[in-house]
Amino acid sequence: MTKLSIAVSAQDHQQGNPDAPCTLVEYGDYQCPSCGHAYPIIKRVQKHFGKRLLFVFRNFPLTQMHPYAEPAAETAEFAGAHDKFWEMHDLLYENQDRLDDAMLFEQAQKLHLDLAELREALESKEFEPRVRADFSGGVRSGVNGTPTFFLNGQRHDGPYDFNSLVEAIDRVLE
């Protein structure tokens, strides 16, 4: 079974209880329709398990196929540097159908982020190393497409509809 090679740490974007008995890691791409499909499901799963689940999101942009995946990932990291990662993560998925450069700045404005600073961060590729590090770690862990999920470090190869994820997490919690 394929295992997560990079352990969840303080460097990660985490949501939920850090001491939860189950950690769900998603490797995702903001332009990937399947990830967009998984987004509301993950929200439901988080609600369902409450304090028993920690959710971690890591970048896995398929840049050759999705031209806005990389700038979107870097925009979320920029927001993260201003403690607004999850707000941006959610806005990007909620508005995924019209993802482009202008849309990224629009979301940044909604979050009251400095647009000039964002422009500079994207142009200088300030957050590219962070995104690359997530990607490389993902490849080493056997991420084979997006989204790829890991439950307590084990790759989840099954379907990721609500019921399947709940069942899989219940098994981990047992």
Alpha helices in the chain (DSSP H): 33-49, 69-81, 85-94, 101-110, 115-123, 128-140, 162-173
Distance CA 131, CA 127 (A): 6
Q: Which one of residues 14, 23, 75, 146 is an interface residue with another protein (CB under 8 A)? A: 146
Vertex 35: Cα angle to 85 and 94 (nearest 5): 55
* Contact between 63 and another protein per CB under 8 A: yes
Site residues for another protein, 66-125, by CB under 8 A, read: none
Least distance CB 146 / another protein (angstroms): 5
Q: Which one of residues 29, 74, 77, 134 is an interface residue with another protein (CB under 8 A)? A: 29
* Contact between 25 and another protein per CB under 8 A: no
Q: How many residues bind another protein (CB under 8 A)?
A: 22
* Residue 127 one-letter amino acid: F
Least distance CB 69 / another protein (angstroms): 10
Q: Which of 60, 54, 97, 64 is nearest to 76 (CA)?
A: 60
- Site residues (vs another protein, CB under 8 A): 2, 5, 29, 32-35, 62-65, 135-136, 139-146, 157
